[in-house]
Amino acid sequence: MANDRAFPPGFFDRTDESPDAVFYLPERLVTHIDQGAITAVGELYAELGLAGEVLDICSSWISHFRSRPRRLVAMGMNEVELSANDMATSWVVQDLNVDPVLPFDDASFDAVTCCVSVDYLTRPLDVFAEVARVLRPGGPLVVTFSNRCFPTKAIRGWLLTDDEGHCAIVDTYFDLTDGFEPAEVRLCTPAGRGDPLYAVLARRAR
């Protein structure tokens, strides 16, 4: 992975190094954050005006948009989950830890989203570089996360730190990727109630 020496040895290791395709074989038609956090994701997408051509990576049956973008491509690991995503206009099954190359043309999306999943990426800088390639100038990559995860599949570096550290990790991914403007870090939910929802987002440089 490009620039992986910026991280300590073992940072991207996981307890469960078996193929992700095995872990994600059973469909999980569940929500991974509470309703307050889901609402916060939808409000953030609405505020950012994500209404055009959007790619949702690490997607499932729910993409949290308040209203359907003109085009929403959902990429994830489970065909049953993705085919149940009623916001998606199309979907693609692809293991980004095996193949981080996005099957799309340069500058083909207005925005890319990644909700409660960045901690599962073992080659995040390759994925972020691909996202920068497929984004149009000015388009954001919006990475959101809370404080829960599938611990056996999350990278060790994520498990060893806290919310503030998670924001710093994603900020560093943006910083190390050519083509993004400086990232913005936000807490999108009120402090102290329910699941926290953090967003780290940056726009494709013009």
Ligand X SMILES: C[S@@+](CC[C@H](N)C(=O)[O-])C[C@H]1O[C@@H](n2cnc3c(N)ncnc32)[C@H](O)[C@@H]1O
Summarize as ranges the residues that interact with ligand X (CB under 6 A): 20, 24, 32, 58-60, 62, 76-78, 95-97, 115-117, 120
Judged by beta carbon, residue 116 or residue 132, the one nearer ligand X is 116
Q: Which residue is nearest to ligand X (CB)?
A: 76
Residue 168 carries which DSSP code?
A: H
Min dist. Cβ of residue 10 to ligand X (A): 18
Q: What residue has token string 């925005």?
A: 111
Min dist. Cβ of residue 31 to ligand X (A): 6
Judged by beta carbon, residue 80 or residue 205, the one nearer ligand X is 80
Judged by beta carbon, residue 87 or residue 202, the one nearer ligand X is 87
Close Cβ partners of 167 (under 8 Å, ≥ 6 residues apart): 185, 198, 200
Cα radius of gyration (the chain): 16
CA-to-CA distance for 51 and 156, rounded, in angstroms? 35
In DSSP notation, 45-82 reads: HHHTT--SEEEEEEE-S----SS--SEEEEEES-HHHH
Judged by beta carbon, residue 115 or residue 183, the one nearer ligand X is 115
Judged by beta carbon, residue 86 or residue 95, the one nearer ligand X is 95
Min dist. Cβ of residue 137 to ligand X (A): 25
Close Cβ partners of 174 (under 8 Å, ≥ 6 residues apart): 128, 141, 180, 182, 183, 200, 202
Min dist. Cβ of residue 122 to ligand X (A): 7
Residues 116/145, Cβ–Cβ less than 8 Å: yes
Q: What are phi and psi of 35, to 5 degrees?
A: -60, -35
Min dist. Cβ of residue 20 to ligand X (A): 4
